[in-house]
Structure formats: structure tokens, C-alpha cells
Amino acid sequence: MSESKRKLLRDLLVGEGQSEGKSRPPVFLPGEEGWLPATDIVEGRQNLYVILEVPGIRLNEVVIRYEKGTLIVEGERPEIPLGEEELIEFHKKEIDFGPFVSRIKMNTRIRGDEIRATYKNGFLVITLPKDTSRRPQSGVTIEIQQTDE
């Protein structure tokens, strides 16, 4: 794990400590749409954190929803124009472009109306507060807050 990723996780979990009752981890749901960004899922005592590595995305085109216990993140990373020169072949191709849809089934109850999302240094961090009540919540759209640094 890179030092910047380690620092981001450490910053997120300050004061969180270990959870006393271990919950079942979230599950990625298969999809056919485009590519999937690298994703970390971290559990703290009070929150789950979903961290997506998505440099180059257009934030105004990203939609985050929480529906029926599933976190859905949709967006697109546009290709970087390389100028007028015609490309003949790739010598190495690791960067994915185009639309993506990431679906993560939460196996822990979440307070859907309190989900927050921030974007900083190419990372989309979604904070999902755990819910100990039995009230179901669904159909929530989350606004992304961009932070500078």
C-alpha cells in the first residue's frame, strides 16, 4: 500500500478503534459496464468507508446512490487527447477510460440519509454511517464535496 493511501486511511480512522462486533464485509456485485476503479472498503466502529481511486473523472458527472442496501457509484473518465498524431499501437495500456458503474452490497445496515462523499487528490471517499436501528432507508442520492490540497 502506498504511503499516501496509508495516510488517507489513517486520517479517516482517527479515533475509530476496532469494532467490537465484527460485521459481514460488503460484497462487490458483478457488472458488465466499462471498467471498475480500484476500491478499498474499510470498517471503523461507527462507519464504513468506500474509497475509489478515480483521478481524471468529472465530478459533475458522477452519481452516487444508496438503494436497497447497495451503494452504486456511476461516472466516466474521459480519454486524454494525444493531439493530431494518429496512434498506430499501444506498447503498454493500463489506464482505463470510459464509463464505470461500481455496485457494492452492504451487509451492514447504513443510515442512508447521512452518507457523505468527498473527492481529494484523485480519491473519492464515501463515508457510510452504520445504523443500529431497524428503519430501512433507500433511494438516497449523495452529493460529492471536493476538498483542495
Q: Where are the domains of the chain?
A: 23-78+95-146
Task: Determine the pLDDT at residue 31.
Answer: 61
Q: CA geometry: angle at 64 spanning 95 and 56, to 5°?
A: 30
Task: Determine the pLDDT at residue 94.
Answer: 86
Mean pLDDT of the chain: 81
pLDDT confidence bin for 67, thresholds 50/70/90: very high
**pLDDT tens readout for residues 114-130:** 999 999 999 999 999 99
DSSP class of 138: -
**pLDDT tens readout for residues 23-59:** 667 776 666 667 899 999 999 999 999 999 999 998 8
Task: Determine the pLDDT at residue 90.
Answer: 75
pLDDT confidence bin for 131, thresholds 50/70/90: confident
CATH architecture under which domain 23-78+95-146 falls = Sandwich (2.60)
Cα atoms in the 13 Å half-sphere on the side-chain side of 90: 5
Q: Which residue has the higher pLDDT, 105 or 133?
A: 105
C-alpha closest to that of 75 among 60, 56, 61: 61
